[in-house]
Structure 1
């Protein structure tokens, strides 16, 4: 079943991307990104004849063939030269086809002001390809508050990048700078761009930048880092059964150990690696891959220990929503 599901998902992602890409106004209709579990369930219902087995979210991790971007990537391109935007757009289409990465048709901006004035909270871009030099906009930093304006020596693309990073601050938001000047990289380091692409744009350059970005993003989704007993600990997210908080500490229960560190669960759960976990209580966050079954007020986990975790009344609607998706 998983092989059929994998093939159908890949085929559907490619067809869907090309269809959206060829429509000038084609945007993903959902303003809020659905999680991977929901997307796989949707593909399963459309393309598979066998009944679902277990938690479908785990299929994405265990087959190894499904992309991390079951939800189409949302991309913007900002460059004052339209032909450069079109070159990047064509490279993205080729990348999507070759790498089986689903993408929405990119939004194109040919000036900084338009992108600055765009309400990005609804678009939630995953990555923005951005020029550093926009002709005629050398004073772009004046658009921004003094606290986030970059040094005078930095040009408009860097100022806008600083604004996007500090004001919008999506955890899954990346900037890839497209520039003719290699020395700009020194000034841009504090903005934490994912990559630099030096003009002229080629498919190899765009593909290399996206490969790097997706690799490090994948690492951030698979590994959680924390400080426990004054030592830095790296934990594979797939081995985490659940997290719970008590007082000033968060306890992380894995398949074979229990790790504690100082922090707040409300802050920890904002990490990208826990985006698929389910909050069942203000003090509990559960990995759905380890859920055996759920009653009205209890989550029963898999394993010989038969652990049971409480579902608080406040979080019952969230659990019910998750069950409806599954």
Structure 2
């Protein structure tokens, strides 16, 4: 099932935080939390990783947004964008060292916020699917851009994937998502224990298979072809009796 992008806001000026929250919701995103301290934000992140976060650099207290970004090393990675009222070179240099996915100068406008999120998610999606260290296999979801925003797709909810040349149809709970990729490349990103090829054009989630025969696989009401080449591998992947 696809989900709306979940965003964490770390900003100690509540008027600004609420304004940003309203902008995000207008853009179709879900605000999970607003934190006014870096330490409380870190605890929230450890409890539930957001899809994206906005960190104000100049937070009140000893720990600022740059401190928070540095604490994320070793935790599950996600894209974050810095917010600041200061654009001086020293601040920018310190921020860059944490490898942010964006940098916005206050006051924040809806158009610039949307653009920063788009760039951050596109970069994150590309890195996730091309880097061995950051492969989405290490997580249980990935993002697809639809209707001018990125939505999260859980691997366990995928029914099957159909290849159409250089495009893939990802079928999830009655919905179809289109991405540009070959089936071979996409298959390499998926856990082999959960997905199996049944045809040169079809890859299926093992957990979603309801029945199969030597010539077809059934997933709910869908009947998918199975080629002889992959039939034995499918049978071997399941315990059968009789």
- The answer, yes or no, to whether TM exceeds 0.5 is yes
Could you tell me whether the CA contact under 8 Å between 1:74 and 1:126 is conserved in 2? yes
- C-alpha displacement at 1:180, in angstroms? 1.5
Q: 1:200 to 1:278 in 2, by over 3 A?
A: same
Which of 112, 135, 160 does residue 68 from structure 2 map onto?
160
Which of 101, 110, 127 does residue 203 from structure 1 map onto?
110
Q: 1:95 to 1:214 in 2, by over 3 A?
A: same
- C-alpha displacement at 1:112, in angstroms? 1.8
Query: What is the aligned length?
Result: 175
Could you tell me whether the CA contact under 8 Å between 2:79 and 2:124 is conserved in 1? no
Could you tell me whether the CA contact under 8 Å between 1:74 and 1:123 is conserved in 2? no
Aligned to 1:215: 122
Which of 33, 40, 52 does residue 127 from structure 1 map onto?
52
Which of 28, 35, 45 does residue 109 from structure 1 map onto?
35
Aligned to 2:13: 81
Query: Per the alignment, in what secondary structure is the counterpart of residue 3 of structure 2?
Result: coil
Aligned to 1:320: none
- C-alpha displacement at 1:104, in angstroms? 2.6
TM-score, scaled relative to structure 1: 0.45
- C-alpha displacement at 1:169, in angstroms? 2.6
Aligned to 2:158: none
Larger helix proportion of the pair = 1
TM-score, scaled relative to structure 2: 0.59
- C-alpha displacement at 1:86, in angstroms? 1.2
Which sections of structure 1, spanning at least 5 residues, go unmatched?
1-38, 40-69, 97-102, 141-155, 227-235, 244-251, 253-272, 317-326
Distance 1:218 1:187 in 2: 25
Q: Which stretch shows the higher mean deviation, 73-82 or 181-190?
A: 181-190
Quick check: 1:290 aligned with 2:200? no
- C-alpha displacement at 1:94, in angstroms? 2.1
- C-alpha displacement at 1:237, in angstroms? 4.5
Larger strand proportion of the pair = 2
Distance 1:225 1:111 in 2: 32
CA-based RMSD of the aligned residues comes to 3.5
Q: How does 1:128-147 map to 2 (within 5 A)?
A: 128-135=53-60, 137=61, 139-140=62-63
Distance 1:242 1:201 in 2: 37
